[in-house]
Amino acid sequence: MPKLFSYGTLQQKNVQLANFGRELSGSKDTLQGYVVGEVEITDERVLRESGKAFHPILRYTGNLADEVAGTVFELTDAELTQADDYEVDAYQRVSARLKSGTECWIYAAAQPR
């Protein structure tokens, strides 16, 4: 099953219920080499589900001293697709290794094309 590291609204129970139909259980972990910025959300569905106009967004630094705390969840493949649908175009899903050594997916700032 895929693992997803969440540092933002996907940790909210109401967002999990709206997107997955269930509350996720996970474990705390840390992502190195990133800092958290902020992105304004204009998508009506995401605004309604999260209740927030500004969401955190990961920005890659490559500096292992930069750390972001969050929760790693185990999802089904279908739930991972649902998470992709929830995230707006400012994000891209990329693979990462957490401080614990866990391989997972993260949503980070999309690279300009």
Distance, CA of 26 to CA of 34 (rounded, Å):
21
Look at the chain and report how many structural domains it folds into: 1
- Contact call for residues 108 and 66 (beta carbons, < 8 A): no
Range of the domain at 28: 3-109
pLDDT in tens, 53-95: 999 999 999 999 999 999 999 999 999 999 999 999 999 999 9
Q: How many percent of the chain have pLDDT more than 90?
A: 97
**pTM (predicted TM-score):** 0.92
CATH code (residue 28): 3.10.490.10
Q: What is the pLDDT of residue 111?
A: 79
Q: What is the pLDDT of residue 113?
A: 53
| pLDDT, averaged across the chain | 95
Distance, CA of 89 to CA of 112 (rounded, Å):
11
